[in-house]
Chain A
Amino acid sequence: MRIARHFHRPAWLCVSSALLALPGLALANADVEKNIANSKNWATQAGDMYNQRYSKLDQIKTSNVGKMQVAWTFSTGVLRGHEGSPLVIDGRMYLHSPFPNKVFAIDLDTQKILWKYEPKQDPAVIPQMCCDTVNRGLAYAEGKVILQQADSMLVALDAQSGKVIWSTKNGDPKLGAVNTNAPHVFKDKVITGISGGEWGVRGFIAAYNLSDGKLAWKGYSVGPDAEMLIDPAKTMTWTDGKLAAVGADSSLKTWKGDQWKIGGGTTWGWYSYDKALNLMYYGTGNPSTWNPAQRPGDNKWSMTIFARDVDTGMAKWVYQMTPYDEWDFDGINEMILADIDVKGKPTKALVHFDRNGFGYTMDRTNGTLLVAEKFDPAVNWATHVDMKTGRPQTVARYSTAKNGPDVNSKGICPAALGSKDQQPASFDPNTKLFYVPTNHVCMDYEPFKVEYTAGQPYVGATLSMFPAPGSHGGMGNYITWNAGTGKIVQSKAEKFSVWSGSLSTAGGLSCYGTLEGYLKCVDAKDINKELFKFKTPSGIIGNVFTYEHKGKQYIGVFSGIGGWAGIGMAAGLEKDTDGLGAVGGYRELNQYTELGGSLTVFALPN
């Protein structure tokens, strides 16, 4: 019965009223656009709304990056995993921390804390958070700093004072609906998602008014058409070599009984926005539970790329990458928008590196599938994606559904944490290449039957993870990718998963962090040329960013080990006695790093 509370939202009312407000000129959000246009800022989590993570700053470049030094550092005072990055707007930096989700405003002239905000949150949400108590950062627009707290409260703070302007409840943490994602401001809306796929949370994306925090629309990932904001006749998907309307009950038909009500499809990644098309893009997560036997069917629209109209929330197109997930290949990774040549043709592309190990290139205007190729040669669960049907061609021996509950399916690549997880890739418009932090990890996966209890974990599989066999022995690669052809251009082996978002700059650099704690900058034209390497205080799972202040360019990154890859660090690791998984591989991390969150900022010497 408690689940029923999700449904009384009058979704259609919100939509119809929004439709009446005819959009005039396509405005992304004048203030955010202005802040992004000033390349001295790092105005959004990805630096722009296309998720490109590219900066036009070029003071630090291939020829001098080797001389870079630490300019200043800052401790957040929090131990857990530090994902995301600070924002920089007009001489101020806004930093966030993992739970308890502190926010700091710092004056870049003095590095003095101008204000600090620390919400009071029920500690019961700490254990509700799968994979560490991370938070992926803030948004900034029109003098408001937007924080998405762990306990699902979405809060707008006055950027001048740190005082709360409005706050709104986005989910029910008692049911495991908590938040780790960064909020995003597109037009006059604050967009946020939800976590809790391992708690049977039914995923959604929600838009709140930037002005007052009121809900504008909410689109679920699974369930009835109206609640998903899917128009059976107009929402398109790639089917049988062409685009076709999804038809009525496109989700309900692919679930057994009421399983969709606890069906997952959460939305904790990074979102992007194309103002010319007025579409926002994001991915939905794994269906719940991890035991596929309990949810026969394609489980639409979990594991799906969504394109939605920002004004109304209506889905323009959808594409399901992993129908009937059997591996937890949670599809939430970022959608990068770039105008590139695809198979020789200039294309408004959407590029996505999925947990399932395939790099997808779509026509973002309409959802046409253009490219789907493996971005890690180790991927073995599917031979390829059939370009006509858009469906992965799975391999029977790695099918945890075919092998069934209580059978351990061995040697599946990639592991559940994917060939890439949330750590965002970057796009360099000069080289036209994507710079992708990846995992090179495989797994054994044993599903089992599990009962749903509200507010209790709802996982249903045990798995162990290990470095990809028969390879370089490491658990990560940093790669460059040609999204027009679907080919790896270069691959740089890393000892551990690269769990840090990369940065591309006009200085010809590509920078990323490693789990050992190194910030590395490589030559964008030859990523095997490591031009800079510095050991920060802790392992890096944050995203590299850059800004300019008083004529000087800075490159910064959070360090603070944690997150899924780093959780093995957190406590008393025992000597492995028998077939140990990820911990076996990641265990060595404790020879390099300990917990502890801090920001390290670099610059060239004076």
Chain B
Amino acid sequence: MIRKILLGLLLSVAGSSFGQAELYKVVDGYKVDENTMKGFRTWRAAACDRCHGANQEGLVGPSLVNSMKTLTKEEFVITVRDGRLQKGMQSFGTSPQVMENMDHLYAYLKGRSDGAIKRARVEPIQ
């Protein structure tokens, strides 16, 4: 168990490779901190999976596992807030849940893209 937690901590360090405060905590590949859980719940409530796939692998919209490797935080926020209408990405600017949880959504998706969060359906760290 201790080894698993250590692994989780190592991965969360990987997730904060820019030297910022750590983005997310993950244990056993699917247990995450409270804020990252909020990110997941936002992902689900905003029905992002309808276009990006239940596992962020891409459907009519691009794979976020890929996109999040190159998208900056700023670009991410602009894209989610304003959409990319021509490409079919809607604006979530009027969604209180998305706007209030932008950082958490980013953390969750970054964790998925980094490979630290190993499945889309996460659970809280007990």
Contact = CB atoms under 8 A, between A and B. Distances in A.
A577 B91 CA distance: 29
Contacts of B47: 198, 457-459
A571 B85 contact: no
Interface string A305-320: 0000000000000000
Interface string A575-594: 01111110100000000000
A126 interface: yes
A448 B60 contact: no
B46 A456 contact: yes
A573 B45 contact: no
Nearest to B83: A127
A571 B94 CA distance: 26
A573 B88 CA distance: 17
Contacts of B87: 126
Contact of A127 (B63, B90, B120): B90
Contact of A583 (B46, B57, B91, B120): B57
A124 B59 contact: no
Given A572-B58, A572-B62, A453 B90 contact: no
Contact of A572 (B41, B49, B50, B63): B63
A567 B95 contact: no
Interface stretch (A128-136, A294-302, A430-438): A128-136
A456 B94 contact: yes
Given A128-B90, A578-B118, A456 B95 contact: yes
A10 interface: no
Interface size class of B (residues with CB under 8 A): 35 or more
A459 B90 CA distance: 15
Contact of B97 (A124, A451, A572): A451
A39 interface: no
Contacts of B46: 456-457
Nearest to B52: A571
Main secondary structure of the interface of B (DSSP, over half): loop
B96 A453 contact: yes
Interface residues of A, number: 40
Given A198-B50, A448-B44, A455-B94, A574 B57 contact: yes
A215 B6 CA distance: 67
Interface in A67-109: none
A578 B119 CA distance: 7
A462 interface: yes
Interface of B: 41, 44-47, 49-51, 53-63, 65-66, 83, 85-92, 94-97, 118-121
16 contacts: A126-B87, A127-B88, A131-B50, A453-B94, A453-B95, A455-B94, A456-B92, A456-B94, A459-B50, A462-B54, A571-B60, A572-B62, A573-B63, A574-B63, A577-B118, A580-B54
Interface of A: 123-124, 126-128, 130-133, 198, 408, 446, 448, 450-451, 453-460, 462-464, 567-568, 570-574, 576-581, 583
